[in-house]
Amino acid sequence: MIAAELIDPMIPALKPGDSVADALEWMQEHRLSQLVIADAGIYTGIVSEDLLLDLSDDERPISDVMRLAETVMARENQHLLELIPMVTEHRLDVLAIVGEGNELLGCVSTTELLRQFARDLGMLESGAILVLALDEHDYSMSEISRLVESNNAKIISSYYSSAAIGMADRSRLTLKLNRRDITPLVSTLERFGYTIESAFANVPIESVDQERYDALMRYLNT
C-alpha cells in the first residue's frame, strides 16, 4: 500500500494564520499531539502540542512558530514500509503526504500506519508466531517454507533480523503462521536442526525440549 492510499480526510491541516488556541482545540478534538501546516496548499511543516502549550499567548498565529516546525514528509507514491521508519525516527503522531511540488495531499496518523502495517503482515489473523535463531549461512527460506507446508501450515508473513557483527548465531527469523497448534511443526523443525528460540500461541506446544519451551512459552488472546 502506498502513502496516497493511506490519507485520512478527517485529519485537518493548519494554516499560518490560525491561532495557537485554534490549533490546540483541533488537536484535542482529533486526539492528536501534532498537526501539519499548509500555506496556500503547500506543506510547510508540523507543529506539536508541547510546543504550543509553552507559549504564553494563545492568540498568536501559527506563523510565529513555524520556524520551529519539523519538515518531515512522505511522497504520495512511497510504500507503507518506507513510512514506518519516518514516524518512528522523528516520533511523529501524524505524517504529511505531499505531491511533486510539495502540495499537501493529506495526512495519515501513526496509529493508522501501524494498524495497516499489522494488517498487511497478517498480525490481526489468528495463528501462532514462531521465532527461529539462525546462523546466516544456514538461512534458507525455501527449505523452511517446505517444512512448514509439509505440516499443513502456511506462512502468512515473515521478517528476518540480521545478526550483530561477531554473533553469527543471533540472526532471527520470525514467522506468523495460519495455525495455532504448531506442535508437529516445532518437532519437524527441530528434527532438521533448527533452533526454536520462542513460540507464541494460545495452545500448549510440546517438543523434545519441553523444559526450554516451558520457560519461553507465552499465550496470545487471538
Q: Identify whether the C-beta of residue 87 lies closer than 8 Å to the C-beta of residue 110.
A: yes
Give residue 167's pLDDT band: very low, low, confident or very high (50, 70, 90): low
Query: Which of 193, 201, 31 shows the shortest CA–CA distance to 128?
Result: 201
pLDDT of residue 168: 52
Average pLDDT, the chain: 84
Q: Which tens digit of pLDDT belongs to each residue from 100-144?
A: 999 999 999 999 998 888 887 777 778 899 999 888 777 888 999
pLDDT of residue 175: 92
Give residue 217's pLDDT band: very low, low, confident or very high (50, 70, 90): very low
Q: What is the mean pLDDT of residues 162-183?
A: 78
Which domains does the chain carry?
A: 3-119 (3.10.580.10), 129-219 (3.30.70.260)
Give residue 166's pLDDT band: very low, low, confident or very high (50, 70, 90): low
pLDDT of 90 strictly over 80: yes
Percentage of the chain with pLDDT > 70? 85
pLDDT of 159 strictly over 70: yes
pLDDT of 201 strictly over 90: no
pLDDT of residue 58: 87
> Is pTM, for the whole model, over 0.75?
no
pLDDT of residue 116: 87
